[in-house]
Structure formats: C-alpha cells, structure tokens
Chains A and B, each alone.
Chain A
Amino acid sequence: MKHRTSIWAVALIAMLAMSVAAGVAACGSSSSSSGSSGSSSVKEIKIGTLYPVSGDLAKLGDQCISGVKMAVDEINAAGGIKSMGGAKLVLVEADSQGKPDVGISEITRLCQQDNVTAILGTYQSSVALPATQTAERFQTPMLITTAVADAITQKGYKYIFRICDLASWYARDQINFCKAMESMGGPAVKTVALLHEDTDFGQSTSAGQLKYAADAGIKVVANVAYAASSADLTTQVSKVKASNPDVVLTTTYLNDSILIAQEAKTLGMKQLFFDAAGGTVDPQFIKTLGDTAENWLTEIEFSTDANQTSIDLNTAYKALYGDNMTGNGMDGYQGVYVLAKALEDAATTDKAKLRDAMANVKLVAGVDRVVIPTKEITFTADGEITDAPLYVVQIQKGVFQTLFPLPAPGKLIVP
C-alpha cells in the first residue's frame, strides 16, 4: 500500500512540475512582444507570425521569418499600405517551438492580447492544423506560407489561406514533368515505377503519383514500399529494376535516398530517378554520393537561378542574411506581398473585410510582386493558391540545374 502511495506522489509531483514548466514557457514567450500594442489609428498594421524559431526546427523557422522580414522592410520602405495613408506593417513574432499546443496558445495571444490584423505561419502541418482552427475561431485571417498537408485548406474554414504547394502537388508536378520529358530530349515516358518509404509522407505522395499517372495515361509497372530505416534496399531496388520502367519516381528521406542511389548504380540501372523533394534536396545527398548523385531529378520550391526575378531576389536575400534563399524564405516573402495587396484592396484593418479582400486578391506577374513561377496569384474557394508549380531540377556536376517549368536555364541530361 505504502509503495502505491509513493508512486502516486511522484506522479503528482511530476505533473505539477510539468505544468509549472509550461507556465514559465508561456510567460517567457509572451514577454517577447510586449510594447508593440499602441494607438488605434491606422498608423501601423500589426501582423502576427507563428514559426518555430526555437527547438529542433529553429533553422527552418528562421528561413521563413527571414523572408517575411525582408518583404515587410521592402514594403515599408516603399511607403507602406498606400490606401491607408502609408500605414506601416509591424510584425508581432510568436514562437511555436514546433509544438501544436504552444501554437494554439500563441495564436490566442496574438489575437486577444496583441490584436493583430492577420497572421502568417507556421512551417509544420502538425502546428498549422490546430493553429488554423484557433485563428478561424478568432475570425483572424491567417495565411499559411509553409505547411504542405492537403487537409489544412480542406476543412471549410473562411479565414484560412495558403500560398505554398500542397503535398499532392509534388506528385502532380513529377507526372507533369514526365509528360514533358520527350519534348526536352528525354525518353517518351510510358511507364513509371514507384519506390517510396512507407510513413505518411511516402504513402500520401505515392497515392498522388498513382492518381496523376493514371490521369496522364502513364502505366505504373511497380509500386514498392520500404521502411526508411532499412539497412539494405537492394531487394527493393532490384524489384524496381525487374519492372523495367522508363522513369523511377521515389519518395525518400536521406539515408534511404543514398542507399537507393548506390544500389541502383550497383545493379547497373540506366533509368532516370526522380525524387519528390525528399532526401535528395538535403545537401548531404550530393556531398555523400559525388558522381553517383549525377542525373538524379528532384523538386524544389525555390530555384536561385531559374529566371531574373529569382536571381535578383536571392542576391538581395543573401546580402541581408548571408545564405541562399530557400523555398521557406521565398514563401514567407511572397506571403507578405499577398497580404499587403489584400490590405491595399481592403483599405481597412477590419478583419472581416480583410478576409473578403484576401479571398478576391489577385497578384499579376509583372505588375505586382510575384516570385512564385506562376502568371498570377489568386485563391480558390478553399483558400488554396490556384497554382504554384514546383521547380524540377537535375543534379549536374554536383549542383542543381533548373529544368522545369519551361522556359528554364538547364538542359535535361539522359544517361
């Protein structure tokens, strides 16, 4: 009996300790933004941001917020929101720490305490799902700049918009590229084999590949799943080889992408491998494999050399932060411009009116600031960006060469 009591005491103490820790964390983060509440006249427009700027994902959250800050500074320097007498954009930053629960409490704080007009976020889908629910409840427009889970914009919310690619679009653009490959001097793609790791990422991507391949009349001759932690993938790769496809579509993490590349070479496979922005986009892929990585295709959200707009944008970003811009930074940057355009149209910080302006916003390339490779940015009734193609790149001499969407600077190499 005594034993059991002491276990309960320990459990109770542990729970108390955890709740105290959570309280301290909440206090810590809310103090970071004090001082930005102020006058009610529209001299400044408060925009909340929710990204993981501490914890494991801090580096990626930083990329998002860097793009956001760059755009905010540009817009303010150019005279702010003109329809509101040159009102300046002011950021109120919140840190999700990569945790869904923190995401909810931070959205609540941004809406209730800081009275922000709109919110940008979130990087992770796991944070985006509860965060968008909370923003919807507070009827605060929220623009997702990065978070790919399809479900985020499929819940019938009115205040939620998204400008980044959906998870299924990675598969869509793989198939689009396969269709275009013959016109680029590549093989006429009639068959593909799918090789994917079998967590949610690989499963959902391969489901998309099956769907889009069927729509395009491309036959899937093998569909091989594997556990990403496998020590050896020779068997899986040899299954793919036996099906003799025109192109192999992969969905990978890093270790497995390296194993696949090595084993495909070992087995003497000549086909092009096309990865859905998995392990192949990690710099370690090229660094580790050297020549073996050559000719692999993959997808990226932002190409630093695709066109003059990208080159200029990356140069400006690099001057500010020292690194190349990534898809996360580009989407954050583009998100601010989309939001600014909607504010310009709405001419008010009334959140319901801003929501309507967002739903009808239209940015035209060449007239407005558009850095996504698309002609115009509009939203569907779901709040999803109408079209945001990915860049298809090929590893040539150890660097990414942009091949797609056309016109692009690179040329496809067929081994």
Chain B
Amino acid sequence: MNLNFSGAVLSQAVASGIMLGGLFALMSIGLTLIWGVMKIINFAQGEFLMVALYLAYFLVARGHIDPYITIIITVPFMFFFGIGIFRATISPILKDPVMNQIMLTLGVSLILQNLALMLFSANVQSVNTRYSTWNIHLGSVVISGTQLIALVGSVLCTLGVWYFLKTTDSGRAIRASAQNPTAATLMGIDVPRTYLLAFGLGSATLGLAGSLMIPFYYTSPTVGVFLGLIMFIVVVLGGMGNLLGCFVGGLVIGLAETVGAAVFPGSLARVFTFSIFIIFLLFRPQGVLSKRQT
C-alpha cells in the first residue's frame, strides 16, 4: 500500500471529485426521472448515453461543429430517440411484470451495444477540441474548464427539469401520472402520452450529457456499461426518483471515486466507492434525501 499523499493531492482530489460528481449527476437525471414517473428501470440508459456520445463525437469530429453547439442537435435527437425506443419496445409491455421489463431493457442495451460495435468498431474514439487546454488554476488546484462547464450544465439541468415538473402543465401531468395513473386518467390526463414525454425527457438529458462530456471523455461501444453502473449507484443513493437526491448522490460518488483514489491504490479505490454504496443501502436504503416510506 502506498499511502503517501499530501494536502495538495487531497485538495486536487476533492476538486476533481466535485467536477466528476456533477458529471455523474447529469448522467443519472434521466434514469431517476424515468423510474420516478413510470417505475421502469431502464437498463439501456448507459447505452443511450453511448449513443449520445457517438452522436456528439461524429458532429464534432466529422461535422467540425463546436461541441457546445452540438447540444441543439443532440438534445432533440435523443428526445426522439427515446420516444422511438419507448414506442417500439417499452410501451407494449408497460403492464407486464417488472422482470419482463428488466429483460426487455437489458435486451435493448445489448442490441445497442452490438449495433455500435458493428457500425463503429470496438475502437475508442475521442476528440481534441480547443477547449481541452482551458484550465482554471486555484492555488495548486487545477480545474479543467470543460469539466466545470459539465458541472454547471448538470446544476442547470437538474434545476430545469425540477422547474419543468413543478410549474408547467406537462410537468404537473407527469407528476400526476407518477403519483396515481388511474386518478390521472380520470382527471383527463393522457397517461400514455405523458409517459412518452417523460421517457423522451429522460433520454434528452443524456443528449446534453453527451455534448458536455465529449470534449474531455471518450466513446466506445462498451462505454455505457461502466457509466450505466455509476448511474444506478447514483440513483439508488439519491433515492430512486428523487431529482435533487440524484445530484447529491452524484457528488458523493464523484468524491468517493477521487478521494478514494488519493488514499487507496488502484482498483481498491473502487472498493471505497462501493463500500459507501453498501453502507448507504444498509442505513439509508431510501436514499440520502428521501424520507422513509411506510
């Protein structure tokens, strides 16, 4: 074990952890939203992010579009992509047992992964943008500008989705459908349409994540496997379906990853992350922010 770390390393780890946490939160909003509204665990969410990353990659690398301008393409694309997947696969089995839905989304994830493997090969792809050298120095701590933008994007996205659900008619319809689909139907809400909207929204947030991540991250057909796992931990940690909890969960896992890496060598850092997860499951299974449901 190599435990020599200094204050500088630790403060860098904390700064990186907050950045990473923001990113994790951004990735996970869609998953928590989809679960919160229709109680479907979308195992293909990691692969949706992979699709968004590939789209952003091709727009930047081949289309020579500024990564932050690709948002106006990736977000609507992922919205309709999500709607398409929902219409074709999930909507027919909405009333089926949970196990069937899990199998189905798992199947979708495998199809997307292998489709990407066939179309784009197993090669890792990433882009080099003019933002990649943009850094902010705070004493000995260096913050990557692109990661800071992702953090800001994450905060705005969380607030935006929250505001949308709180104040707009469509948002209220989504919340009503989530609380009690039958009552919502009786009140004249088109529940299937609302589900469609929520699923599309959950997918669209990944479009934003893809565009904000591509300047400093990579894409490959299996990138969604690891990121998907992180999403699940973040969502469970934050309380499934809880938007603000999702943000806190992201920060906790981000910090656990980087501070863990500062203290423990190699893959042992992961043990730290997952230990925190297990501790939360044991003592606060309802998540960091949620109240215990009875």
Smallest Cβ distance from A281 to chain B, in angstroms? Answer: 14
Per-residue interface assignment for chain A, residues 218 to 247, with 1 indicating a CB less than 8 Å from any chain B CB and 0 otherwise: 000011111101111111101100110000
Q: Enumerate chain A residues within 8 angstroms of B124, measured Cβ to Cβ.
A: 254-255, 258, 284, 288
Which of A224, A230, A265, A289 has the largest number of chain B CB atoms within 10 A? Answer: A230
Cα(A374)–Cα(B142), bound, Å? 46
> A232's closest neighbor in chain B, by CB?
B20
Per-residue interface assignment for chain B, residues 8 to 26, with 1 indicating a CB less than 8 Å from any chain A CB and 0 otherwise: 1100110010011001000
- Residue of B142, B226, B262 near A231 (CB, 8 A) is B226
- Residue of A225, A231, A268 near B265 (CB, 8 A) is A225
* Given A225-B266, A231-B226, A231-B257: A289 and B128 interface contact (C-beta under 8 Å): yes
Cα(A268)–Cα(B12), bound, Å? 13
Chain B CB within 8 A of A387 CB? no
> B127's closest neighbor in chain A, by CB?
A288
Cα(A290)–Cα(B127), bound, Å? 9
Chain A CB within 8 A of B135 CB? yes
Cα(A233)–Cα(B123), bound, Å? 20
Query: Quick check: A239 and B262 within 8 Å, CB to CB?
Result: yes
Chain A CB within 8 A of B132 CB? yes
* Given A235-B13, A258-B126: A222 and B2 interface contact (C-beta under 8 Å): yes
Chain B CB within 8 A of A382 CB? no
Give the number of chain A interface residues (Cβ < 8 Å): 34
- Residue of A226, A242, A258, A265 near B261 (CB, 8 A) is A226
Chain A residues 197-237 with CB under 8 Å of chain B are: 197-198, 222-227, 229-236
Cα(A143)–Cα(B228), bound, Å? 44
Q: Enumerate chain B residues within 8 angstroms of A197, measured Cβ to Cβ.
A: 266
Q: Enumerate chain A residues within 8 angstroms of B152, measured Cβ to Cβ.
A: none
- Residue of B23, B128, B135, B267 near A266 (CB, 8 A) is B135
Q: Enumerate chain A residues within 8 angstroms of B261, measured Cβ to Cβ.
A: 226, 230, 233, 235-236
Chain B residues 95-136 with CB under 8 Å of chain A are: 123-128, 132-133, 135
Q: Enumerate chain A residues within 8 angstroms of B270, measured Cβ to Cβ.
A: 227
Smallest Cβ distance from A72 to chain B, in angstroms? Answer: 31
Cα(A239)–Cα(B5), bound, Å? 7
Chain A CB within 8 A of B258 CB? yes
Chain A CB within 8 A of B216 CB? yes
* Given A268-B142, A284-B124, A289-B128: A230 and B257 interface contact (C-beta under 8 Å): yes
Query: Quick check: B216 and A262 within 8 Å, CB to CB?
Result: yes
Chain A CB within 8 A of B144 CB? yes
Query: Quick check: B123 and A242 within 8 Å, CB to CB?
Result: no
Smallest Cβ distance from A378 to chain B, in angstroms? Answer: 39
Per-residue interface assignment for chain A, residues 267 to 291, with 1 indicating a CB less than 8 Å from any chain B CB and 0 otherwise: 1100000000000000010001111
- Residue of A223, A231, A243, A289 near B230 (CB, 8 A) is A231
Smallest Cβ distance from A224 to chain B, in angstroms? Answer: 7
Chain A CB within 8 A of B41 CB? no
Smallest Cβ distance from A149 to chain B, in angstroms? Answer: 21
* Given A262-B132, A268-B142, A292-B132: A234 and B12 interface contact (C-beta under 8 Å): yes
* Given A231-B257, A258-B218: A224 and B2 interface contact (C-beta under 8 Å): yes
Q: Enumerate chain B residues within 8 angstroms of A225, measured Cβ to Cβ.
A: 265-267
Chain A CB within 8 A of B157 CB? no
Q: Enumerate chain A residues within 8 angstroms of B126, measured Cβ to Cβ.
A: 258, 288
Cα(A236)–Cα(B19), bound, Å? 15
Query: Quick check: A266 and B142 within 8 Å, CB to CB?
Result: yes
Cα(A223)–Cα(B258), bound, Å? 17
- Residue of A232, A234, A236, A288 near B125 (CB, 8 A) is A288
> A196's closest neighbor in chain B, by CB?
B266
Chain A CB within 8 A of B217 CB? yes
> B263's closest neighbor in chain A, by CB?
A235
Cα(A292)–Cα(B132), bound, Å? 9
Q: Enumerate chain A residues within 8 angstroms of B2, measured Cβ to Cβ.
A: 222-224
> A279's closest neighbor in chain B, by CB?
B124
Cα(A234)–Cα(B19), bound, Å? 11
Q: Enumerate chain A residues within 8 angstroms of B132, measured Cβ to Cβ.
A: 262, 292
> B14's closest neighbor in chain A, by CB?
A235
Q: Enumerate chain B residues within 8 angstroms of A262, measured Cβ to Cβ.
A: 132, 216
* Given A222-B2, A268-B142: A238 and B217 interface contact (C-beta under 8 Å): no
* Given A223-B2, A242-B9, A284-B123: A232 and B266 interface contact (C-beta under 8 Å): no
* Given A238-B8, A238-B12, A239-B5: A265 and B133 interface contact (C-beta under 8 Å): yes
Cα(A362)–Cα(B150), bound, Å? 61
Cα(A289)–Cα(B270), bound, Å? 27
Smallest Cβ distance from B119 to chain A, in angstroms? Answer: 17
Chain A CB within 8 A of B276 CB? no
> A227's closest neighbor in chain B, by CB?
B267
Chain A CB within 8 A of B227 CB? yes
Show 23 residue pairs from A and B whose CB-CB distance is below 8 angstroms, ordered by the A residue. A226-B261, A226-B266, A226-B269, A227-B269, A227-B270, A230-B261, A231-B226, A231-B230, A231-B257, A232-B16, A232-B20, A232-B257, A232-B258, A234-B13, A234-B16, A235-B9, A235-B12, A235-B261, A239-B9, A242-B5, A255-B218, A262-B216, A288-B128
**Nearest 8 Cβ contacts at the A-B interface:** A225-B266, A198-B266, A234-B16, A238-B12, A227-B267, A235-B261, A290-B128, A235-B13
Add 17 more A-B contacts to A234-B12, A267-B142, A284-B125 (CB < 8 A): A197-B266, A224-B2, A225-B266, A227-B266, A230-B257, A233-B261, A234-B16, A235-B13, A235-B259, A242-B8, A255-B218, A258-B126, A265-B133, A266-B133, A266-B135, A288-B124, A288-B127
